[in-house]
Amino acid sequence: MLGLLHLLCALPVLAFPMHLLGREANASDPLTAFNSIPAVLPPLPYTYDALEPIISEDIMRIHHDKHHAAYVANFNVAAHNATVALEQGNVLEVVRLTSALSFNGGGHILHSLFWQNLAPANAFSVSPAAGGVFPSSGRLADQVERDYDNLKRLVSTMQQFGGAVQGSGWVWLVWNRQNHALEVISTQNQNLPSGAQNRTAYLDAIPAVFNWEEGERRLLAELNGDEWW
Ligand SMILES: *[C@@H]1O[C@H](CO)[C@@H](O)[C@H](O)[C@H]1NC(C)=O
Ligand SMILES: *[C@@H]1O[C@H](CO)[C@@H](O)[C@H](O)[C@H]1NC(C)=O
Ligand SMILES: *[C@@H]1O[C@H](CO)[C@@H](O)[C@H](O)[C@H]1NC(C)=O
């Protein structure tokens, strides 16, 4: 229905949703700025056409200016109403609002992180990070070699998870604290509208704009014990 990005699979995200709510908002930190009420639509960290030809300007405008903006606006209405209902002691209304809060709040959080997960391909002048460029050495490179042998196997694992998602969902690269290893997981999320037109093509193309530098920054923060979100 609406275009390729609806799937929003294949996220180089090193993250732990359970820690989400414990982190305070910091307006100048793009990774925690989402955690404030009222919610605010964050600007893209690059221009709308910066990811072309992998993701078109139109798709970016639809997903940022329309979909993400709608999650933010709808979350704010639900949060306001929930605040009123809590003050009134209206249990039925509070419970009724939880689905709107998680649907729109989830969409807002996931998209806020997703914009940071990508970077223009081979565009050092546009951004300090170059999309699709995997570091040749360092903690992330070492760990990928340990857990997946090589980048190609990691990416193809992420693509397999993405292809297997029913409807819409997300693929995550996470740090497993118990096993001390990188792990690929997927989540199904009704918060995100479906409508991928060619998932295979999207999963083939998207690694070209993965922001691996951002992935490494999050891995180091995680290993350092920093609650980065
Ligand atoms: C907020 O984030 C900025 C940018 O990451 C950082 O420099 C600053 O120290 C943070 N402020 C607080 C209070 O954590
Ligand atoms: C929020 O409250 C307004 C005013 O009572 C109501 O019109 C609106 O439908 C409510 N929205 C949600 C999502 O509950
Ligand atoms: C989807 O993309 C794949 C890989 O790029 C391509 O081989 C296939 O023909 C495309 N399918 C459709 C229906 O466009």
Q: What is the pLDDT of residues 190-223, one digit of tens each?
A: 333 334 456 777 888 888 889 998 889 888 988 8
- Which has the higher per-residue pLDDT, 32 or 163? 163
Residues with CB under 6 A from ligand 3: 198, 200-201, 204
* Residue 80 in marked binding region: no
Query: CA 124 to CA 131: how far, in whole Å?
Result: 9
Positive/negative CA dihedral, 197, 47, 37, 213 = positive
Amino acid at 79: A
Query: CA 96 to CA 104: how far, in whole Å?
Result: 14
Query: Tokens in use for 37?
Result: 């009420």
Q: How far does the centroid of ligand 2 lie from the alpha carbon of residue 173, in Å? A: 37
Q: Taking a C-beta distance cutoff of 8 angstroms, is the pair 30, 217 a contact?
A: no
Query: Tokens in use for 114?
Result: 């997703």
Q: Which residue is closest in CA terms to ligand 1's atom 13?
A: 26
Q: Which residue is closest in CA terms to ligand 1's atom 14?
A: 26
Q: Which residue is closest in CA terms to ligand 2's atom 3?
A: 81
Q: Which positions ≥6 away from 177 have C-beta within 8 Å?
A: 16
Amino acid at 93: E
Nearest atom (ligand 2) to Cα of 74 = 13
Q: Which positions ≥6 away from 96 have C-beta within 8 Å?
A: none
Q: Taking a C-beta distance cutoff of 8 angstroms, is the pair 109, 40 a contact?
A: no
Residue 113: predicted pLDDT: 87
Q: Which of 23, 24, 29, 217 is the best mutation target for the ligand 1 pocket, counting ligand atoms within 8 Å of the beta carbon and taking the most?
A: 29
* Residue 63 in marked binding region: yes
Residue 166: predicted pLDDT: 78
What's this model's pTM, rounded to 2 decimal places?
A: 0.76
Query: CA 6 to CA 1: how far, in whole Å?
Result: 9
Q: How far does the centroid of ligand 2 lie from the alpha carbon of residue 80, in Å? A: 9
Q: Is the pLDDT of residue 148 over 60?
A: yes
Residue 204: predicted pLDDT: 85
Q: Which residue is closest in CA terms to ligand 1's atom 2?
A: 29
Nearest atom (ligand 1) to Cα of 30 = 5
Q: At what angle do helices 91-117 and 212-223 cross, to 10 degrees?
A: 120
Q: Taking a C-beta distance cutoff of 8 angstroms, is the pair 139, 213 a contact?
A: no
